[in-house]
């Protein structure tokens, strides 16, 4: 119904030009990466999901939230879109998340599905001209295979899968990896995804609470790594990297990780973006991934 309401008689949304600035500039972020890697080498963590935040001022009357969200959807269609807006305060959440955190369904037991994303590769837009398609497809397939065969990206994904299996094992009697490290492609990025399923006697609220926060946005081990993140980022992430979804009266729930999301409040737009760090991470490549994810969120609507 939301999709229908948004799509009726909507002209092609215009670009939204907001000058975005990172809270941590490139040099500071690279230093934080090196500090994180030192802590990993000391055995404090295996994987640390470091993030940054980009902010920009919105002039009065500059932005139609509905048009901005439609522009995001046009540039980055994703399965877990959300548009939550408080017109009285001119604030809200515009999200095009590709990542399911947790889906549950209750029959005699609770069935749980989690689909962590770890591993990202930039994807070029599909060309309009047919004579450019074969070259684009070849390069697109090369990038997918490069992501799938990356030792670093596979290590990141596997560590989060182990973390999720551990979370689920404490509340479930059956946990299985349904599909390990497959590629899901979106308009702007390729992502490495694993599907984990479980059966539990716990209720849907307990299942969500027990697995929160998303391991794909913290790292492993979860408690110590979140302490490290708090020190390195020196800010509260807010709704970014949390979850957004619903509980139904039919015993179902579905929750997405709040990524590829713009938050608007107090005349300011903010977009969080980051990536997982391991001992194999290369700082400059990690900064490039931050920019890739910012571009995937806002594309030509934002001038970083």
Active site residues: 99, 118
User: What distance in Å separates the CA atoms of residue 76 and residue 189, rounded to the nearest whole number?
Assistant: 9
User: What distance in Å separates the CA atoms of residue 50 and residue 183, rounded to the nearest whole number?
Assistant: 23
DSSP for 66-77? HHHHHHHHHHS-
The number of CA neighbours under 13 Å toward the Cβ of 240 is: 21
List phi, psi (to 5°) of 245: 175, -145
User: What distance in Å separates the CA atoms of residue 56 and residue 100, rounded to the nearest whole number?
Assistant: 28
User: What distance in Å separates the CA atoms of residue 96 and residue 82, rounded to the nearest whole number?
Assistant: 7
**Burial of 254 by CB count in 10 Å (0-12 exposed, 13-18 middle, 19+ buried)?**
middle
Q: Do the strands 243-247 and 252-257 form a parallel or antiparallel pair, or are they unpaired?
A: antiparallel
User: What distance in Å separates the CA atoms of residue 169 and residue 177, rounded to the nearest whole number?
Assistant: 12
- In this structure, what is the dihedral angle of CA atoms 48, 116, 178, 255, given to the nearest 10 degrees? 140
User: What distance in Å separates the CA atoms of residue 304 and residue 299, rounded to the nearest whole number?
Assistant: 10
């Amino acid at each position: 119904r939301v999709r229908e309401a948004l799509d009726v008689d909507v002209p092609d949304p215009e670009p939204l030009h907001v000058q975005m600035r990172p809270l941590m500039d490139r040099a500071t972020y690279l230093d934080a990466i090196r500090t994180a890697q030192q802590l990993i080498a000391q055995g404090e963590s295996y994987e640390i999901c470091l993030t940054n935040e980009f902010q920009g001022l919105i002039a009065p009357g500059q932005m139609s939230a509905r048009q901005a969200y439609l522009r995001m959807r046009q540039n980055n269609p994703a399965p877990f879109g959300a548009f939550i807006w408080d017109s009285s305060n001119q604030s809200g959440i515009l999200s095009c998340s590709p990542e399911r955190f947790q889906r549950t369904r209750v029959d005699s037991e609770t069935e749980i599905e989690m689909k962590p994303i770890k591993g990202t590769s930039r994807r070029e837009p599909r060309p309009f001209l047919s004579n450019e398609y074969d070259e684009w497809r070849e390069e697109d397939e090369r990038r997918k295979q490069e992501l799938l065969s990356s030792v670093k990206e596979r290590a990141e994904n596997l560590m989060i899968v182990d973390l999720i299996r551990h979370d689920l094992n404490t509340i479930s009697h059956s946990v299985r990896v349904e599909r390990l490290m497959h590629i899901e492609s979106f308009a702007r990025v390729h992502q490495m995804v694993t599907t984990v399923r479980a059966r539990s006697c716990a209720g849907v609220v307990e299942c969500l609470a027990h697995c929160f926060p998303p391991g794909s946005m913290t790292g492993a081990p979860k408690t110590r790594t979140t302490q490290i993140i708090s020190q390195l980022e020196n800010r509260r992430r807010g709704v970014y990297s949390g979850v957004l979804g619903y509980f139904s009266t039919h015993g179902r729930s579905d929750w997405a990780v709040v990524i590829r999301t713009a938050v608007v409040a107090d005349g300011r737009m903010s977009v969080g973006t980051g990536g997982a760090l391991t001992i194999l991470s290369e700082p400059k490549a990690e900064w490039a991934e931050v920019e890739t994810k910012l571009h995937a969120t806002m594309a030509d609507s934002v001038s970083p």
